[in-house]
Amino acid sequence: MDYINNYTGNILVVDLESGKCDQEELENELIDGYLGGAAINLELYKKYRAKDPLIIGTGLLTSTFVPSSCAAVITGKSPITGKVANAPLTWQTGIELKLTGFDFVVILGKSAKPVKLWIHDGLADIEGSDEWGKDVWDTVDALRHNYGDDMVEAIVIGPAGENGSPLAQVSENYWGSKDKFGFGKVMGEKKLKAVALRGLSAFEVADGFFDECTTLSREIANGVIKGKQGAGEIGKSLKINEGVLSVIQEMTHRDNACFNCPYPCLTFLKYRESAKEMKSTDVKEPGCLITDLSGLAAFGFLGKDAPQALEQCFHLGLEPTASAMMVEKAGKKDVAGAKEELEKLTKAQTGLKEAGLPHFNGVSPWPITPSLDTALVQALGIFSNAIPPQVVVGSPKDFSIGDSAQAKAAFWAKRQAMAYILGICPIFILTAPEMTEEKLAALIKLTMNWEDFSAEKLSGIVSRYLSEILGMQEGAGEIHPSLKLDGVEAGLKEVREALK
Amino acid sequence: MELQFDTLKCDGCRACEFACNYHHDRNISPIGSSLLYYREEKKNYYGMVLKREKSLFLAKPDGPETILPGQQVKGGGASAKPILLRVACDLCKGAETPLCVKACPRNVISVA
């Protein structure tokens, strides 16, 4: 391996049908041509397409000193859209994966009986899963107890995934995820209850890289996001329901940041004890972490009980936005009724499209007033709709984006592709105009020791990726009539063409 | 002179932990750090624990605590324990500013 920086150089290939784990080398040509994350995932997807692969990959910069380099990406065929799609994994999941000693994990076929995958310290084991039948929280607790380590990061499914509901999502530890594409159902069909990660690997780092990264981190912290934090600020940018904004304000305990991120957007809400309580008390489960603001906002009709419904989705492994829409349609107006309905939804075999509810390609929309640019973004169907469909905290002006809806949507898609390929948080990249393509390219050049790398090259790789994945989306673009704003279909065509 | 923590400003991003490891081992990893993120995840109770020369310093959200040899570490769950084996903070001997101070985007850590 020439590339000792940034990657461990290993791809784990797990065949659930044969029960075997193999290790492949992450070839230099793959890194040169595609960098990492969603782009290498797509190459691996094509290679293993016949075996229904689900791929979890880290980015070129995941787990480095680059600000917000927390992300990994799940890539697979979405059972909702029928197309290849990506869901980001954030917080500590991405870094833990890379630290296990594997940069990419390819999960093939189906197991005959429930299993879990334990990846740690350069080793991988397929083990029987006693956790099958447990909810997400009990599963995470059981895994950590079993492996004797509170810092195990887990990608798990709950009852919804086990039952093959299209409303299922994968969960990162206790708190759901940004999976809007039904990868929870895919894991359920594979009889894969959990992927548990723990690693203490080390990667080499180029001289001067640490200083360059901390300089950028400072610049970002003192830039557009200065003095701002939490999910509430993002909610204000998106103009979500005022009631939900008040709930966030009243119940905020502490904000969490994902690995190495200058903007803490993961707000923890406490409602079973005072939000001001900073001690570790006897209340074992005082609240929940907002990892999906759209999910919380969609439960806005429950008022101050919205976070409890979100928590219930986390327990059951349900995609919260779609579930909230189903619960509201069922006429449930209080938390008890909502919980009862959510329990039923874990067995649902139909999703938003079949229920006649608003959707983009079957995927839940942001519960915000529709606008053309945000509709175009959500209709693309490649990246997660849990990510804000526009620039947040700051304004489009900070990023010098053109005024047209098409320009905003094309900017969003390109920015997302860059985040998903490099392993930067896709929310953070929409808050930090200071993180320019030029600066990212300069950091890549430095850390990879690629003398001829440039912003143009980075942009070229991102564009080629978008072009390829958009080519695989032909026939997608189904938009519920309520979301069909004037010009959305023509606009979508234009954006697709512009990105190709 | 020791590192001081304004713990409630900390958001648990672990930039300091990896910076510390970089000082000791010149690579990217959490394994050689004098600083460790610990948490009781479901309670959102988290902070940093620091290995000092002759004690452990817990930057806890409900107030700092120093643990001397022989004393039990309370709170933080199992994730706070492995720090006992770590190398002690040397305030990044030779560097102008400790790397954790430099890396923290929220100015949680200072030297006093």
- The interface predicted TM-score (ipTM) is 0.96
- Residue A379 has a pLDDT of 95
A255–B11: do the CB atoms touch at under 8 Å?
yes
What does the pLDDT average to over B12-28?
97
- Residue A5 has a pLDDT of 82
The residue that leads in pLDDT, A339 or B69, is A339
- Residue B71 has a pLDDT of 75
Q: Which of A278, A315, A448 should be substituted to probe chain B, the one whose Cβ sees the most B Cβ atoms within 10 Å?
A: A278
A264–B13: do the CB atoms touch at under 8 Å?
yes
Chain B residue whose CA is closest to A100? B29
- Residue B81 has a pLDDT of 57
State the average pLDDT for chain B: 90
Q: Which of A99, A151, A216, A266 should be substituted to probe chain B, the one whose Cβ sees the most B Cβ atoms within 10 Å?
A: A151
Nearest chain A Cα distance for residue B6, angstroms = 14
**Within an 8 Å CB–CB cutoff, is residue B83 touching chain A?**
no
Scan residues 261-280 of A and list those with Cβ closer than 8 Å to B.
Answer: 261-262, 264, 268, 270, 278-280
Chain pair A-B, CB pairs under 8 angstroms: 112
- Residue A2 has a pLDDT of 45
**Within an 8 Å CB–CB cutoff, is residue B28 touching chain A?**
yes
Give contacts of B45 with chain A, Cβ < 8 Å.
Answer: 278-280
**Within an 8 Å CB–CB cutoff, is residue B40 touching chain A?**
yes
The whole model's pTM is what? 0.97
| Correct CATH for A10-198 of 3.40.50.2020, 3.60.9.10, 3.40.50.300, 3.60.150.10 | 3.60.9.10
- Residue A4 has a pLDDT of 64
Q: Which residues contact B95 (CB under 8 A, 6 or more apart)?
A: B23
Compute CA A333 distance to the chain's CA centroid, rounded to the nearest angstrom.
29
Judge contact between A90 and A74, C-beta under 8 A.
no
**Within an 8 Å CB–CB cutoff, is residue A151 touching chain B?**
yes
Chain segment B23-32, per-residue pLDDT in tens = 999 999 999 9
A284–B103: do the CB atoms touch at under 8 Å?
no
Q: Sorting pLDDT into bands at 50, 70 and 90, what band is B75?
A: low
- Residue B87 has a pLDDT of 93
Nearest chain B Cα distance for residue A10, angstroms = 17
- Residue A353 has a pLDDT of 96
Q: Where are the beta strands (DSSP E) in B30-111?
A: 35-40, 45-51, 56-59, 65-67, 109-111
CA distance A82 to A491: 22
CA distance A496 to A476: 11
Q: Per-residue pLDDT for B80 more than 70? A: no
B8–A281: do the CB atoms touch at under 8 Å?
no
- Residue A347 has a pLDDT of 97
B40: burial class by Cβ within 10 Å (0-12, 13-18, 19+)? middle
- Positions in chain A short of pLDDT 50: 1-3
- Residue A372 has a pLDDT of 96
- Residue B85 has a pLDDT of 75
Q: Domain segments of chain A: what residues?
A: 10-198
Q: Per-residue pLDDT for B74 more than 70? A: no
**Within an 8 Å CB–CB cutoff, is residue A227 touching chain B?**
no
- Residue B54 has a pLDDT of 87
In 3D, which of A208, A212, A206, A216 has the Cα closest to residue A449? A206
Q: Per-residue pLDDT for B77 more than 70? A: no
Q: Which residues contact A234 (CB under 8 A, 6 or more apart)?
A: A265, A293, A388, A392, A393, A427, A431
3-state secondary structure chain A: CCCCECCCCEEEEEECCCCEEEEEECCHHHHHHHCCHHHHHHHHHHHCHHHCCEEEEECCCCCCCCCCCCCEEEEEECCCCCCEEEEEECCCHHHHHHHCCCCEEEEECCCCCCEEEEEECCEEEEEECCCCCCCHHHHHHHHHHHHCCCCCEEEECCHHHHCCCCCECCEECCCCCCCCCCHHHHHHHCCEEEEEEECCCCEECCCCHHHHHHHHHHHHHCCCCCCCCHHHHHHHHHCCCHHHHHHHHHHEEEEECCCCCCCCCEEEEECCCCCCCCCCCCCCCCEEEECCHHHHHHCHHHHHHHHHHHHHHHHHCECHHHHHHHHHHCCCCCHHHHHHHHHHHCCCCCCHHHHCCCCECCECCCCCCCCHHHHHHHHCCCCCCCCCCCCCCCCHHHHCCCCCHHHHHHHHHHHHHHHHHHCCCCCHHHCCCCCCHHHHHHHHHHHHCCCCCCHHHHHHHHHHHHHHHHHCCCCCCCECHHHCCCCHHHHHHHHHHHHC
B44–A287: do the CB atoms touch at under 8 Å?
yes
Give contacts of B48 with chain A, Cβ < 8 Å.
Answer: none
Give contacts of B26 with chain A, Cβ < 8 Å.
Answer: 205
